[in-house]
Copies of this chain bind each other. A is one copy, B any other.
Amino acid sequence: MPRSRNALTTTSHALLGLLALRPWTTYELAKQAQRSLGWFWPRAERKLYDEPKKLVAAGLATATEQRTGKRPRTVYAITREGRSALRAWLDEPPAPPVHEFEAMVKVFFADGGTLDQLRATLHEVERTATERLEALHAMIDESRSGPYEFAGRLPLNALGLRCELDHEQLLVDWARWARSQVDTWRSPTDAAGWDWQAALAPGGARP
């Protein structure tokens, strides 16, 4: 059997998940998807405007035209079939995680450049991860203080946030560790007797 055309993607199901919480306009949906899903399923805003149309075409959502003065807008809502499709999707085994880590490509090929370039790359990894950690903590403080729209979902959110927090912290720790190791090297290919095997032993990078 040839692969069916217009099969629903993970992105489709992710938006279906948001629609299961409440109806949204496309704009709200796009923003909300970036705020929440963006941490583990990042998608360009552009894509988030196309996807709901596919959900409607598949009968999993409805689109209602409204207007604010002269400006039109579309409100999407999930259908019974949509909820059922979401349940069925939760049964399928998840795809393995994908990590695109450009900085690691630069670390891997650091012998094409200088130790200073390597240090700068590691520094940037630490900076980015620190920024994301701060953004996560800000989100958490917010949900702790004010009343939250989806209070029943806080435990599920917490599971995911715990993973994100630990992940960003891991990057900060790794980048700092790597910089301290690199500081003893003479060049990107001459580690001056540095014991790389020890670094790969269990707990090798623990401070």
Contact = CB atoms under 8 A, between A and B. Distances in A.
Nearest to A112: B86
Given A86-B112, A170-B170, A100 B154 contact: no
Contact of A99 (B13, B40, B190): B40
A138 interface: no
Given A90-B117, A155-B194, A41 B100 contact: yes
A181 interface: yes
A37 to B, nearest CB: 7
B162 A97 contact: no
Contacts of A87: 112-113, 117
A191 B155 contact: yes
Contacts of A27: none
B161 A97 contact: no
Contact of A98 (B10, B99, B160, B171): B99
A41 B104 contact: yes
Contact of A152 (B95, B104, B189, B205): B189
Given A91-B117, A165-B200, A167-B167, A107 B174 contact: no
A110 B162 CA distance: 16
A194 B111 CA distance: 50
Interface string A65-102: 00000000000000000010011011101111111111
B95 A154 contact: no
A163 interface: yes
Interface in A176-195: 177-178, 181-182, 185, 188-191, 194
Interface in A130-169: 132, 140, 144, 152-163, 165-167
